[in-house]
Structure 1
Amino acid sequence: MEDLKKNDIIPLEITDITNEGNGVGRYNGIAVFVPSTAVGDVIECRIVKVKSSFCYGRAESYTVRSDTRIESDCPVSKLCGGCSFRHIIYEEECRIKDNFIRESFERIGKLSPEYLPFSGCKDIDLYRNKAQYPVAETEGKAVCGFYAKRSHRVVEFTRCRLQPKIFSDIVDKIISYVNTRHIPAYDEVRLSGLLRHIYLRRGANSGEIMVCLVVTSIKKAGVFDDLVPALLDSFSDIKTVLLNENPRNTNVILGEKMKYLYGDGSIKDTMCGNTVSISPLSFYQVNTHQAELLYAMAAELAGLSENMTLLDLYCGTGTIGLSMARQVKKLIGVEIIQPAIDNAVVNAKANGIENAEFICGDAGKIAKLLYERGERPDVIIADPARRGCDGESLEYMAKMSPDRIVMISCNHTTAARDCAILGELGYSCDKVMGFDLFPRTTHVECVVLMSKEK
């Protein structure tokens, strides 16, 4: 690229925001991406990286500051990889996220649905019911915090504004214990040490707390014998403490082996009026109160009635399907993670729901099995992981010929792709609504109504 080189300083107006949260402007037709900027900013930009067709830059100074710009209220927001929008007002964040969804459905899916009004979040701080803190060693001491952007370097900081304050207090107590007893933190380079992550979950309505320590070897668990009484003395809401063993050189946080130090390895919460049991491996929306609004909209779009069969694909612990079970004749839930299915069965029993069947297995393979055994659900709810639905799932969802498919997605790009495929299989994309379950981050959920074409 002849026009720009590293360390050039150029004037740049920020005109858009990318899905990664970077501001973007154009200089002589070349896109320049700049973090921590807002639409309307006019900056002096230093070029820090030059690629074949675009550049990355850094704001050196501001000629004009956007009307939507504010000062970040977090001292590590520019270092941590968690929040990308602490420098703009929340109304602008919602506009940006709504635009993310619209662009994906129109550009990727080539779809033209009705867009329902975007649902912002009432509480933009302290909303998370789950946190996973990496542990590292600095100057001979264990430290805890969050990974810096695009790295595995731990930024030492536990007072995250997205987490409830009690999480910070618990983590500080654990790190103090670890350092007092000289328990080695995991070293990713040397592949040595014991404590890798501190993983916490909390029932947003019940207040019950789970403490899970991810370690390289459960056989060395004896060093934590005195931690449990110390935690219980300070935090009465802790209902279970457990160890998770992960000896592998991997970015995946949790391993498969568990050891319970206190309690039965689960906590309880209420969601959509149902009591739910949550284990470490269970999927459970991190923003409970906003998820309840999302599920209510999904139920409204589903148009359920008492003579219907509802298929809940990627059902996790059953929270979505069970919230709708009393409105239908039969509920079938499908999930590949066995502990989540176990939780779903417990959740159904605990709430007196007797019309639910839960099956453990891959969504596509079970959808095919259900089709072959003659199941013809009236409505299908699909809530896949970020990668979206696989081809087999989409094929057999359409073959079962439900009147409506309601998709809940944490990735609007894969949702748009999947809805376009369903369009080729006979379903129209009617309505899309965005929900902000992750304020101050780039993540956003959406719910989509697909209807069988007559």
Structure 2
Amino acid sequence: MKCGEHITLDIERLNAKGDGVGVCDGREVVVPRAVPGDRALVYLRRKRKGRFEGVVDDLIEPGVERIDPACVHFGVCGGCRWQDIEYDDQLKIKESLVHRLVAEQDLTAGSWRPILPSPQQNFYRNKMEFSFGSGPDGVPQLGLHMRGRYNRVFDLETCWLQSEVSNRIVDSVRSHATRLKLPVYDLRSHEGLLRFLVVRDAKRTGEVMVNLVVSSYPHGGVDDLLASVFEDLGRQITSCIVTKHSGLAQVAIGEEEFHIRGDGHMWERCGDIEYAISSRSFFQTNTIAAERLYETVCELAGDLTQSDVLDLYAGTGGMSLHLAQHARSVIGVESVSEAVVDARRNAERNEIGNCRFVSTLAEDLLADATAKERRYDLVVVDPPRAGLHKKVIQGILDLGPDRFLYVSCNAESLAQDLAEFVSGGYEIQVAQPVDLFPHTPHCEVITSLIRTPSWQR
């Protein structure tokens, strides 16, 4: 078996990234977009670290029925890998993956609840990050990255993830950038102007924020570009920011922001709470499904009327403010200072006086709370995909709250962290998957833990 050959492969499972995995001649073969139960003719494209990577040339026998995808970019784009699978089947596959990743850590939950579906499967995202690229003729491209090619961008015609307004913004920016002959930033020469276009689209309020990331500003060409886009879109764009990013890192944040329209934030409503969202603030990308997520968190938290709650990785206060409606007090901890400013503004706007926000690292606050013997009845965490820092895990174990809720968007890192808590004296009571990311292998998982008599500081 070698690269360039075709093999017939039975897909046995998914890896943590959601790619299909089968075994041929004792060697694992990873096949993106394949799912368990598929039998496929697979072309072996490359070999990495003793493991082959392949692509499906012919689906001989599908494990689940395939349907025609709505998107014209399906298969080329790096997102929406399961758009050719019925949504009910997607949920079953996700649920099975989460169960398996947790079981691989020799963990059990007192109760596994069925996965909660997203109310919307298309146009559900409130944030999209589009990249600029250059075509063979040097004409600006604006779209998303090709699957597995982080240095290649394809021109986006229509995307089913965010909104029709977002699609019109992309088309307008690309059209006028081409007309004005504005150069695209080149990753190798580090020359050029246009880097990213970030669109935030509030699902409940209808507000739209555009953030154009460029290598240099002030710049007359950027002003002309935005003036033309405003003319095309009218007042549909309620907030517009230009971010100057002259550094080498290919990320959509920079060293300085310029407010072109509005005051640098937009308002979104999730449940009965309104949130100010700025360009760098974290906010759950699926607003409608996030309402279900927060409702479930509050339900699993139980009676909080006499409880003091610590919410780590609080962002703009999404979880904290919902919990504060039921708790005696809530402290939200967030390391991004801009998000803390938004969170405090959100608490004030919603007249929630029993919730305060602190700008610091979670591990530092935990160490300070333990040293001062500060007690919290409930600790809630919602960390990035990488999971919890080892110091945060130890800090929570040292603090020893009676109850603990872990919300995660990465079942693999969640399972690894849960193993640490279980060995440290906690027990998993309930596990609840919640789908916020239709057409992808990802979902949120809420786990509820309680301290057992085996816990020792």
TM-score, normalisation: structure 1: 0.94
Is contact 1:409–1:415 with CA below 8 Å preserved after alignment? yes
Tell me the equivalent position of 1:56.
53
Tell me the equivalent position of 1:98.
95
- Against the structure 1 CA distance between its residues 323 and 256, is the aligned structure 2 distance closer, same or farther, given a 3 Å change threshold? farther
- The alignment partner of 2:104 has SS state of helix
**Equivalents in 2 of 1:39, 1:426: separation in Å?**
35
- Against the structure 1 CA distance between its residues 42 and 364, is the aligned structure 2 distance closer, same or farther, given a 3 Å change threshold? same
**Equivalents in 2 of 1:115, 1:441: separation in Å?**
21
The code of the aligned residue for 2:409 comes to C
- The alignment partner of 1:225 has SS state of helix
Quick check: 1:408 aligned with 2:397? no
- The alignment partner of 1:218 has SS state of coil
Give the unaligned 5+ runs of structure 2: none
The code of the aligned residue for 1:12 comes to L
Q: CA deviation at 1:332?
A: 0.4
Is contact 1:106–1:112 with CA below 8 Å preserved after alignment? no
- Against the structure 1 CA distance between its residues 421 and 65, is the aligned structure 2 distance closer, same or farther, given a 3 Å change threshold? closer
**Equivalents in 2 of 1:256, 1:348: separation in Å?**
28
Give the unaligned 5+ runs of structure 1: none
- The alignment partner of 2:115 has SS state of strand
Q: CA deviation at 1:444?
A: 1.5
- Against the structure 1 CA distance between its residues 311 and 165, is the aligned structure 2 distance closer, same or farther, given a 3 Å change threshold? same
**Equivalents in 1 of 2:109, 2:347: separation in Å?**
38
- Against the structure 1 CA distance between its residues 46 and 392, is the aligned structure 2 distance closer, same or farther, given a 3 Å change threshold? closer
Moved more, 431-440 or 341-350: 431-440
Quick check: 1:33 aligned with 2:33? no
- The alignment partner of 2:433 has SS state of strand
C-alpha deviations, 1:78-134, integer Å up to 9, x for none? Answer: 111112212222222111211221122111363444211111222111100001100
Q: CA deviation at 1:252?
A: 2.5
Quick check: 1:437 aligned with 2:436? yes
C-alpha deviations, 1:175-206, integer Å up to 9, x for none? Answer: 22212221111111211111100001111100
The code of the aligned residue for 1:309 comes to D
- The alignment partner of 1:44 has SS state of strand
C-alpha deviations, 1:41-68, integer Å up to 9, x for none? Answer: 3222222224564322232334334442
Moved more, 397-406 or 280-289: 397-406
The code of the aligned residue for 2:313 comes to Y
Tell me the equivalent position of 2:335.
336
Quick check: 1:186 aligned with 2:185? yes
**Equivalents in 2 of 1:11, 1:107: separation in Å?**
28
TM-score, normalisation: structure 2: 0.94
**Equivalents in 2 of 1:42, 1:425: separation in Å?**
42
Identity %: 29
Tell me the equivalent position of 1:68.
65
Moved more, 244-253 or 341-350: 244-253
**What RMSD in Å do the two structures reach over aligned CA positions?**
1.8
Tell me the equivalent position of 2:416.
417
Is contact 1:431–1:450 with CA below 8 Å preserved after alignment? yes
Is contact 1:208–1:239 with CA below 8 Å preserved after alignment? yes
Is contact 2:16–2:101 with CA below 8 Å preserved after alignment? no
Quick check: 1:284 aligned with 2:259? no
**Equivalents in 2 of 1:212, 1:53: separation in Å?**
42
**Equivalents in 2 of 1:161, 1:402: separation in Å?**
43
Quick check: 1:148 aligned with 2:146? yes
**Equivalents in 2 of 1:106, 1:65: separation in Å?**
26
**Equivalents in 2 of 1:90, 1:18: separation in Å?**
20
Q: CA deviation at 1:140?
A: 2.3
C-alpha deviations, 1:194-252, integer Å up to 9, x for none? Answer: 110000111110010111001112232x3232444444442423221111121122132
- Against the structure 1 CA distance between its residues 141 and 271, is the aligned structure 2 distance closer, same or farther, given a 3 Å change threshold? same
**Equivalents in 2 of 1:169, 1:63: separation in Å?**
39
The code of the aligned residue for 2:329 comes to K
Is contact 2:109–2:431 with CA below 8 Å preserved after alignment? no
**Equivalents in 1 of 2:196, 2:49: separation in Å?**
38
- The alignment partner of 1:161 has SS state of coil
- Against the structure 1 CA distance between its residues 109 and 290, is the aligned structure 2 distance closer, same or farther, given a 3 Å change threshold? farther
Is contact 1:21–1:84 with CA below 8 Å preserved after alignment? no
**Equivalents in 2 of 1:136, 1:190: separation in Å?**
13
Aligned partner (choices 15, 18, 24) of residue 18 of structure 1: 15
Tell me the equivalent position of 2:126.
129
> 5 Å matches for 1:198-277?
198-220=197-219, 222-233=220-231, 234-277=233-276
